[in-house]
Structure 1
Amino acid sequence: MSSTTVPEAGEAVQEENDNNDIEYVEVDASTKELDLTRHRIKKIEGFDFLHSIEHLCLRWNLIKKIENLHMLVTLTELDLYDNQITKIENLDELVNLESLDLSFNRITVLENLSALKKLKNAYFVHNKIRKIEGLDELTELEYLELGDNQIKKIENLSKNTKIKRLFLGANQIANIENLDLLNDIEVLSLPANAIQEIKGLNNLKALRELYLSQNGVKCITGLENNTNLEILDLNYNRLISISNIDHLQKLTDFWAKKNNLAKMSDVLELIKLPNLKLIYLEMNPLAECGTYRSKIIHMLPQIEKLDATYCRIGKRNW
């Protein structure tokens, strides 16, 4: 027997417990939100009676296929995080969907999404996706998460001009490219890739947060037009000096943990950033000096935290 079935009139949803016994969850037909997280559901079925459903959460189940959702036209949020789904399909009728989470599944191709014209948030973390594609019709997309896949190139996003937050960490991307038309991006996250040079950001003047930890960046370049940056994350790279950032006057956070910064003179440019509040410099050669902390605090009196620890007298130490 299927592990999720609604008998009649939408009075209950069947689920299977650890002993393979069938249990029922009472569901009102007019409910707008339904959360069936960790209910060992194996198949999507029996939800047709939910004529007003807006949010359906089926996280952490055993679902292998997206199906039997065509009647749920009122749905605005569908969460299928951490199942066993291999293919994006059968979503054409969900024309009001604004949020779709298919993270932690087994998807290899971005496809069959063109009907979701209202989609604003899309999450595909930890799948087996090799290429950014199939998103041309999603012109309302604002938040795209494709972290922890097998993507080698940033591409095919020219139609998604409303994207504000783009997450592509833990892939195999070597170049920052093809972002020129995404003028609204505020957060760009590319940690744990194969990037050696900061470039391709000239048109991203709205950019506030840039995350590039765990790459191979040796010097800071390409940020001339990104004067709205507030957070710059370069932890775990290969920096030998900090330069070309004195124009980033709005910068509050600068993270450069575990690089190759050897001398105090390598970080002198930070003096020119009056709004700097938090910096990370630990695990650099210069941090091995016993007076490292006092020297940095003296050199940068504007900062509030150094390596996550408060550094001004009178600041709370929690």
Structure 2
Amino acid sequence: MPATELDLTNAHLPDLSSVEIEPTLTAIDLTANRLRTLDPRLLELQGLKSINFRQNLLANVSAWSGSSCKGALEDLEFRDNHLSNIPSLKGFTELRRLECSYNQIRNLLPLADLDSTRLEELYVASNKVTAIAGLSHLTTLTLLELGSNRIRAIEGIDSMTNLNELWLGRNRITKVDGLATLTNLRRISLQSNRLASMAGIEACTALEELYLSHNGISVLEGLSALTGLKILDVSSNRIAEIRHDDLAANTQLEDLWLNDNKLPAIDAAFDKALDPVRHSLTCIYLEGNPCSHDPQYKRKLCNMLPKLKQLDANFL
């Protein structure tokens, strides 16, 4: 039978001259080779549905714009190469997943030409992107990963109402904004940004996981509308108090990460603040706070939280 799959993972090939490329191929994995250019034979494959160039040495893949598989390709991966630009993907109508993380890409504008009305997952993490632009037409996206870039504002994504996951950690964002229409978001990460406030997160009423560690947040806010929240990570911030109604609506919360803040004591006020989550919390992190030096630290928390299974890194 004609071959439909080609797996050359970890073959360490500098090129594909020694490889037979069957015209019937629909899936190719070229992970961990030493390819610097695109073999022209790959561009001629009309039925190709998936191709993976992860961990190669590609610096220019503009030739991919002329591929013959535009009406078939569903999964395209250029992760961990040396790309400075995303190739034009005009005419690629069936693409569902695009992975371009760990390159040197400076902008997303070439994606404005992407014709696919099926794209569900887009990964451009760990690049040099400065702004979210050229993506507003990608309304079928369910996952957007732009972590570890140079983005300063959440913008240009209000049309992505199908988003379930938004990953923007390790950027330069100063304000939670542009999320009002994203009512289907289940997970959002804004870790390691420049936030001083959580205000704006209240629009994401379907959130189940919220990651805000390593910012400058001093007050918990915007949580009253997040009634389905299960994981809240506000570690490594400047929080000195959990007020009595901060978690009032979060009765399904299971994981609460508050380590490396400024919480002073495990006292009656702290006990009252945890009352709404007393019977849902199974994991809490408080190490790195002054309160963690309490000689009765573990005993007090176990008494407060009867379903607790993990305290800091220790399973109970």
Contact residue 13 and residue 25 of structure 1 kept, 8 A: no
Cα distance in 2, alignment partners of residues 201 and 144 from structure 1: 17
The AA in structure 2 aligned to 1:54 is: K
Give the paired residue count: 303
Percent sequence identity is 32
Deviation per CA, 1:106-140, whole angstroms, max 9, x where unpaired? Answer: 11111122323321100010111101110011111
- Stretch moving more, 262-271 or 157-166: 262-271
CA contact (8 A) 1:13 1:27 kept: no
* Mean CA deviation greater in 85-94 or 138-147: 85-94
Q: Which residue of 2 aligns with 1:44?
A: 38
* Partner of residue 137, structure 1: 137
Map Cα deviations across residues 3-34 of structure 1 (whole Å, 9 max, x no partner): xxxxxxx999999x879687623443323221
Tell me the residue number matched to 1:101.
Answer: 99
- Alignment equivalent of 2:29, drawn from 32, 35, 44: 35
* Cα distance change on mapping 1:42 and 1:247 into 2, 3 Å: same
Superposed CA deviations along residues 153-192 of structure 1, whole A, max 9, x for unmatched, are 1111111111110000000101001110111111110000
C-alpha RMSD over aligned residues = 2.5
CA contact (8 A) 1:210 1:233 kept: yes
Q: What is the TM-score with the length of structure 1 in the denominator?
A: 0.89
Alpha-carbon distance between aligned partners in 1 of 2:173 and 2:262, rounded to the nearest angstrom? 23
Does structure 2 retain, via aligned residues, the 8 Å contact 1:278–1:308? no
1:1-318 alignment, distance < 5 Å? 24-45=18-39, 46-69=41-64, 70-73=67-70, 74-114=72-112, 115-243=115-243, 244-265=246-267, 267-268=270-271, 269-273=273-277, 274-311=279-316
SS at match of 1:136: coil
> Where do 5+ consecutive residues of structure 2 fail to align?
none
State the secondary structure of the residue aligned to 2:63: coil
Q: 1:298 to 1:130 in 2, by over 3 A?
A: same
Distance 1:137 1:21, change over 3 A: closer
Are 2:12 and 2:33, in contact at CA under 8 Å, matched by a contact in 1? no
* Bigger Cα displacement from structure 2, 211-220 vs 67-76: 67-76
Could you list the runs of 4 or more consecutive aligned residues of structure 1 that deviate by over 6 angstroms after TM superposition?
10-15, 17-22
Cα–Cα, structure 1 residues 213 and 279, in superposed 2: closer, same or farther, change >3 Å? same
Q: 1:208 touches 1:230 (CA, 8 Å); kept in 2?
A: yes
CA contact 2:302–2:308 (8 Å) conserved in 1: yes
Shift of 1:202: 2.6
Deviations 1:192-244 (A, max 9, x none): 00111111123211111100000111110111111111100011111111231
Distance 1:276 1:14, change over 3 A: closer
Shift of residue 90 of structure 1? 2.5
What is residue 314 of structure 1 aligned with on the other side? Answer: none
Q: Structure 1 pair 242/12, CA: closer, same or farther in 2 (3 Å)? A: closer
Instruction: Return the TM-score normalized by structure 2.
Output: 0.89
Give the secondary structure class of the aligned counterpart of 1:113: helix
Gapped regions of structure 1 (runs ≥ 5): 1-9, 312-318
Partner amino acid, structure 2, of 1:251 = L
3-state SS of the aligned residue for 1:68?
Answer: helix
Structure 1 or 2: more helix by fraction: 2
Aligned 8 A contact 1:227 1:250 in 2? yes
SS at match of 1:199: coil
Partner secondary structure for residue 51 of structure 2: strand
Supply the distance in 1 between the matched residues of 2:253 and 2:43 (Cα, whole angstroms).
51
In 1: Cα distance, 2:151 partner to 2:300 partner: 42
Q: Is the 8 A contact 1:188 1:209 kept in 2?
A: yes
CA contact (8 A) 2:5 2:25 kept: no
Moved more, 17-26 or 299-308: 17-26
Alpha-carbon spacing, 1:12–1:217, altered in 2? closer, same or farther (3 Å): closer
CA 1:68–1:13 in 2, change beyond 3 Å: closer, same or farther?
A: farther
| Cα deviation, residue 53, structure 1 | 1.5
